[in-house]
Amino acid sequence: MNLSLIDPFVLAQDCPEVITGRLRSGHSTSIRFSHRGDLLASGRHDGIVVVFDIETNGVARKLRGHTRQIQSLSWSTNDRYLLSAGQDWKCVLWDLKDGSRVRTVRFEAAIFIAELHPQDHMKFAAALFEDQPVLVDMSADTPVKHTLPTIPRRPPMERENVSEKQAAQDAKQTTTVTLFTPSGDHIIAGTNKGWLNIIDANTYEMKYSFRVGNNILVLIRLTQSGRNMVLNSSDRIVRTIPLPDFSDPKLDFDALQLEVEHKFQDLVQRLSWNHVTFSSSGDYVAASTWMNHHIYVWERGQGSLVKILEGTREELSVVEWHPFRPFVAAVGVDSGRVWLWSILQPQRWSALAPDFVEVEENVEYIEREDEFDIQPIEEIHKRRLDQEDEEVDVLTVEPIKTTAQFAVGDFRMPVLLDIEASDSEDEVVAIGAGQFRRRSPGAGREWMNEEAGAGANGTATPPVNGTKRRRAG
């Protein structure tokens, strides 16, 4: 509702400029915006997942269940569920309505990334360290893991005469990143040998492969429409690739040709990139730099560098762009803070009084003919009231397109009043008037010992056994 009142020049800006705030709760290692953009999930070094309310910059929820650093986060489309993957080799699906653990899925390997299915929050795809990527179906109490292929699909003629050496090499490939297309029918995966694979999410069949380079693909992100992809590779190049509409039934994967649209790199300093993200519209690509304090922002039209976001005194790891505002959040590596960049809106003085006008230079005032005529007050009142003859509609709500609106029945984050009292990450605790002591290690971490509690969700041991059996066979 505020858009009609804001300076159009401010609204036209679509790239953040200055640091406007920072969020702090423990040492953050991973962040992700919710789809509606009002919440920011932050995974911490101590395994706690914190959900920030972007409107108040306060903590909306704390989720305890991981024992080690959070590796990746993924929101369900309705923003009610959050999937976190930790370095304790497990993924947890959280219900933000009550903060409970819906499912806990354990793996036999470290997890690079776990991404929720866009339509079905009980499915996710995960890339594992030196293991096959999996698609996990959690709809039953015991999660079912489907192994996804990693070996690239080569053109038919190549497929026939695969050399021994090549086959051995293919077998050594591992998938380093997975994510779903917006329809959820396909999984896009990247491997450590620079292959980009497209896998059918229903048949787990390799549909298409494309070699981007020789180096590890670290991260893949799509625009909201799914028609553009940005790839971060360890060869210090950020690539953007336009994609076809995968939900189109007429799409022929054999005839598909992907082409790299832009290669963003820093040729002088040979910077490598920690993390990449698309802007809300997909017009910009932002990347945080390794061993450097900057975020580079390129625009995709010309492929030129348009801005370097700076102001922190530390290296930044994960960088995320707000789903519809010119607003960027990034995690500081050293402090664990979340830094926020946005646009500063100058106060328009003309808004402070209706007779204020902002002018470029002095204007000579020309008074109206009857400006200082004295008229009977009654007359003025009557005339004024007579003018109020327009029809007004105070009920009809006009839909707003740009921002994600809450529909009736949508999930809303409950407001917890005791969230600050439950804050246990502070290292000092007050023990009296003006007296503090260091928190004893392990205090306030009782949840770590409740492994049996996870069993109540029916997920504690069976999946582990299941995995073992499968691998043994």
By CB under 8 A, name the binding residues for another protein: 1-6, 38, 53, 55-60, 345, 347-348, 351-355, 365, 367-368, 370-372, 375, 380, 382-398, 400, 403, 405-406, 412-417, 419-420
- In angstroms, give the least distance from the CB of 50 to another protein: 12
Cβ proximity to another protein, 144 vs 416, nearer residue: 416
Structure tokens, 352: 């402070």
What whole-number distance in Å separates Cα of residue 318 and Cα of residue 31?
A: 7
Structure tokens, 375: 């008229």
Cβ proximity to another protein, 205 vs 426, nearer residue: 426
Cβ proximity to another protein, 360 vs 389, nearer residue: 389
State the Cα angle at 26 between 275 and 91, rounded to 5°. Answer: 60
Sheet with 58-63: strands ordered across: 28-33, 39-44, 49-53, 58-63
Cβ proximity to another protein, 308 vs 400, nearer residue: 400
- In angstroms, give the least distance from the CB of 95 to another protein: 17
Cβ proximity to another protein, 383 vs 470, nearer residue: 383
CB 276 within 8 A of CB 268: no
- In angstroms, give the least distance from the CB of 17 to another protein: 14
In sequence order, what are the beta bridge partners of 22?
A: 339
What whole-number distance in Å separates Cα of residue 102 and Cα of residue 226?
A: 28
- In angstroms, give the least distance from the CB of 235 to another protein: 40
- In angstroms, give the least distance from the CB of 390 to another protein: 6
Residues 427-438: b if buried by 16+ CB within 10 A, e if exposed = eeeeeeeeeeee
Cβ proximity to another protein, 162 vs 344, nearer residue: 344
Q: If phi over 0 gives left and psi between -120 and 50 gives alpha, with beta otherwise, what is residue 322?
A: beta
Cβ proximity to another protein, 380 vs 443, nearer residue: 380
Which pairs count as long-range contacts for 387-395, CB under 8 Å and 24+ apart, including other chains?
A: none
Residue with tokens 């920030």: 52
Cβ proximity to another protein, 405 vs 465, nearer residue: 405
Cβ proximity to another protein, 251 vs 343, nearer residue: 343
Cβ proximity to another protein, 38 vs 46, nearer residue: 38
- In angstroms, give the least distance from the CB of 223 to another protein: 24
CB 438 within 8 A of CB 121: no
Q: What are phi and psi of 398, to 5 degrees?
A: -90, 130
- In angstroms, give the least distance from the CB of 416 to another protein: 6
- In angstroms, give the least distance from the CB of 396 to another protein: 6
- Around 83, how many Cα atoms within 13 Å sit in the side-chain half-sphere? 29
- In angstroms, give the least distance from the CB of 56 to another protein: 4
Residues 440-471: b if buried by 16+ CB within 10 A, e if exposed = eeeeeeebeeeeeebeeeebeeebbeebeeee
Structure tokens, 118: 């866009």
What whole-number distance in Å separates Cα of residue 66 and Cα of residue 109?
A: 15
- In angstroms, give the least distance from the CB of 99 to another protein: 13
State the Cα angle at 22 between 21 and 23, rounded to 5°. Answer: 135
What whole-number distance in Å separates Cα of residue 231 and Cα of residue 233?
A: 6
